[in-house]
Amino acid sequence: MVQSLNVSGILNAFRVLWNPSLAMPHVIVKDMSCINYAKLKKQCDIQAIAFDKDNCLTAPYVSTIHSPFKDAWKECKETFGRDRAQQLESSLGVAVLRHKEKKPDGGHYLSNFVKPIPPEKVAFVGDRIFTDVLFGNRNGNLTIWTSQIITEEGDNKPALLLRRMEHHLINILQKFSIKAPSHPALNGTVDDSFIITKEKN
């Protein structure tokens, strides 16, 4: 099985032409194990966290957490709690949000899922710029981009090309000092002393 082409992600990428900051994550980490979840909750007042699954928590189409991430995943669940489960949810230990629309559309699904927590109190973690980061920024979440994926196996050629283009885009945005949309969790600062990661990507 291969990942399907996300037409919505491609179409919404044109939003970046009008507002490049939508493509810039608030925080960049190597992978989810580099996030300091305790600081994310206590210092940034984030009350809920959502993850893209494939290539962020698990290998594509695998229902168990990527082995090197087990300790970080345990820390995340202990910090933010866990919810009800069925097969995939049982193996990951959290509730899974099922949505009919592909990211970056479908923000209302997440908003309804975490109610009454407001969008600015939710962090969204993902490995894709034109879907995950664009989704989170459009919906007022704190966006965290995992720049290193688990595996390219299962990606179709368009997805591979888009992913590589996204990395080039981030380099360009950084070169031109494009910042992510302002977010109250960061108090308007990008000072390294406030970065919520355990280590740089």
How far is the first Cα of the chain from the last one, in angstroms, to the nearest whole number?
A: 30
Of 79, 70, 68, 73, the residue nearest 42 (C-alpha) = 79
Domains in the chain and their CATH numbers? 7-194 (3.40.50)
Of 166, 123, 125, the residue nearest 146 (C-alpha) = 125
Per-residue pLDDT in tens (0 to 9) along the chain, 201 residues = 445 555 665 677 677 888 999 999 999 999 999 999 988 898 889 998 888 888 899 888 788 899 999 999 989 888 887 653 333 333 444 444 443 444 444 445 666 677 788 999 999 999 999 889 998 999 999 999 999 999 888 777 777 888 899 999 999 999 999 999 999 988 765 554 455 666 544
CB 49 within 8 A of CB 123: yes
pTM for this model (two decimals): 0.81
Q: Which residue has tokens 């991430």?
A: 69
Strand 122-126 versus strand 142-146 pairing type: parallel
DSSP element (H, E) containing 17 = helix 15-18
